[in-house]
Amino acid sequence: MEQRARRGQGNDKFGRVEANGWTYFTTRNTVILALVQVGVIVLGVLAAGAAHKWYTTFNMRLPSSTILVAEYGFLALVLPLAWSRWRY
């Protein structure tokens, strides 16, 4: 590994790039992080929708944050795309 790093080829068979003992971002890690972030956003929007349904069923006043996330939460999906495109 140290010979490859000295020759400027620092990639190992798992796609990791190491330099001075630090492992840097890889495409694999970026994809995993983006999928997790998308999952969290989707779960948040679905939870806000469920809360919206529950509040309206019992004629209760909705918190403004719930309305915001339920109506416009899908716009947060731009974030994983933006930072993954910025990386390359």
How far, rounded to the nearest angstrom, does the alpha carbon of residue 8 sit from its chain's CA centroid? 30
Question: How do residues 29-88 score in pLDDT, each as one tens digit?
Answer: 788 888 999 999 999 999 999 999 999 999 999 999 989 988 999 899 888 888 767 655
Task: Determine which helix (DSSP H) or strand (DSSP E) holds 84, and give its type and residue range.
Answer: helix 78-87
* Rounded Cα–Cα distance for residues 60 and 39 (Å): 29
- CB within 8 Å of 19: residues ≥ 6 apart: 5, 10
- What is the residue extent of each domain of the chain? 27-87
| C-beta of residue 40 within 8 angstroms of C-beta of residue 80 | no
Q: Is the pTM of this model over 0.85?
A: no
